[in-house]
Amino acid sequence: MHCGLSAEDLATETLNKYLLSPNGLGWRESKGSLTAFLGTVLRNRFIDHLRRQKEVARTEDASDESPPRTENARNLDDDIAATELTDRLLGLVKGRKDEQELRDFIHAGSMISEGGKVNQQLADLLGVDEGEVVNRRKKLWRVAGVKELYEELRHERKTDQSPD
């Protein structure tokens, strides 16, 4: 790959991500073989790197647009907001009988890439079918405080996007 990442680096990154994850990225034996699961995670990491590389190339080519630093700052803000959202969602599901299932769903949501079929990406990461992804999304919506959190974030986003 361009940008200094080799296939070995990508495999190492995937394995480290799996080993350092407190829940093994949500893998269970009932989801299929670990090899197939890690292969899917590896594929998704590869796609993420390609998309990031494409964004960098597009930013470098656009000389009349805003400087890359602004884009990097926006990405950093988005990363911070995503981490905060994940933490707040995890706090809302804490102590529920289906906590682990919802935690896996929330963590998988933070690993999907832009574009493509979201339900299919989540299904691949979780090792379930798309119908189960829809069921888990509905379960998460029924958790007390999730709808309020969503409305709060929608309001903040509208406020941030309003003209100065």
pLDDT, averaged across the chain: 77
Ordered by start, the domain boundaries in the chain are: 7-161
DSSP labels, 105-160: HHHHHTTPPSSS-HHHHHHHHHTS-HHHHHHHHHHHHHSTTHHHHHHHHHHHHHHH
What is the pLDDT at residue 61? 54
Q: Mind listing the pLDDT tens digit for each residue in 71-101?
A: 555 566 666 777 788 888 989 999 999 988 9
Q: Is the pLDDT of residue 60 over 80?
A: no
Q: Mind listing the pLDDT tens digit for each residue in 24-46?
A: 788 778 778 888 888 888 887 77
Q: Mind listing the pLDDT tens digit for each residue in 3-15?
A: 556 777 778 888 8
